[in-house]
């Protein structure tokens, strides 16, 4: 196991594998770096150096109960990048990890980021408000908080159905994928997961998206039941200076796992362009 002790004493677990151009993967809530397995092995076999980490409070990182904000997550990523002295990095984030990526690239990259990818990502901002009337109502996130606090074991099983589109007619439900999601979720700390809901739902990334000028690829499933595409990817692509949007009919939120062949192909094309 490789760990980095951050400035505030938090231990961050990370994987640093392979040699070549550097890719860094940022996972979604409430998972871990293991959620990128289908991408990690694909790119390792093609001559890339692949770095991924478990966000503070998640996976094998220490279960710190403090500072579960996107700002802190991006700062943590910066500490890891600088510790490993990574340069010309392509940062790839899924869901909450996409928010972490765009904040990192905007405020903390210091010229070390080459490109970025947002997959099923939460930016610009999820929650409904007067300025974001088509967002997701606060009641939905309050429900996620309640279930995480009082029913986490079962909730993490139930959530896999919309996450992977397994609640759709004719879906090829794979229990192993569901169990792996549950395994990753239950490894993390409940405080981190509870506080992380506010981080991914209420953080406004509008100015980050506007400010970033490196190439950014936005990938999103048109049947994403977790982060609705019209309030996320469609808006993000319009705000980016140098963005490219690819959408996928019928693909779910967890498409890096269930549709990894398609996602990996499009990632590779963007990275090598």
- Of 95, 120, 201, 236, which is the active-site residue? 95
Instruction: Label residue 57 exposed, middle or buried (CB < 10 Å: 0-12, 13-18, 19+).
Output: buried
Q: In angstroms, rounded to a whole number, what is the distance separating the alpha carbons of residues 269 and 262?
A: 11
- Of 201, 224, 232, 236, which is the active-site residue? 224
- Of 94, 193, 220, 253, which is the active-site residue? 253
Q: In angstroms, rounded to a whole number, what is the distance separating the alpha carbons of residues 228 and 138?
A: 15
Active-site residue, 142 included: no
Active-site residue, 213 included: no
Q: Which residues pair with 218 in a beta bridge?
A: 118, 245
Residue of 255, 228, 209 lying closest to 126 (CA atoms): 228
Active-site residue, 131 included: no
Q: Name the residues annotated as catalytic.
A: 95, 224, 253
């Amino acid at each position: 196991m490789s760990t980095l002790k951050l400035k505030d004493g938090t231990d961050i677990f990370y994987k640093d594998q392979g040699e070549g151009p550097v890719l860094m993967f940022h996972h979604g809530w409430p998972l871990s770096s293991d959620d990128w397995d289908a991408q990690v092995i694909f790119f390792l076999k093609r001559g890339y150096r692949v770095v991924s980490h478990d966000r503070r409070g998640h996976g094998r990182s220490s279960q710190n109960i403090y500072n579960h904000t996107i700002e802190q997550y991006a700062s943590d990523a910066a500490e890891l990048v600088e510790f490993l002295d990574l340069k010309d990095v392509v940062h790839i984030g899924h869901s909450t990890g996409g928010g972490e990526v765009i904040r990192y690239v905007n405020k903390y990259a210091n010229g070390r980021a080459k490109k970025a990818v947002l997959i099923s990502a939460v930016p610009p901002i999820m929650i409904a408000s007067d300025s974001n009337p088509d967002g997701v109502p606060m009641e939905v996130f309050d429900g996620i908080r309640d279930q995480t606090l009082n029913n986490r074991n079962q909730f993490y099983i139930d959530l896999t159905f919309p996450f992977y589109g397994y609640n759709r007619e004719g879906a090829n439900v794979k229990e192993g994928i569901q169990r792996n999601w549950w395994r990753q979720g239950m490894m993390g700390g409940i405080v981190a997961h509870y506080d992380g809901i506010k981080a991914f739902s209420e953080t406004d990334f509008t100015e980050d998206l506007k400010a970033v000028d490196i190439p950014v690829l936005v990938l999103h499933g048109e049947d994403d039941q977790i982060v609705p595409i019209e309030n996320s990817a469609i808006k993000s692509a319009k705000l980016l200076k140098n963005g490219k949007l690819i959408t996928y009919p019928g693909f779910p939120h967890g498409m890096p796992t269930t549709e990894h062949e398609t996602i990996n192909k499009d990632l590779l094309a963007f990275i090598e362009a």
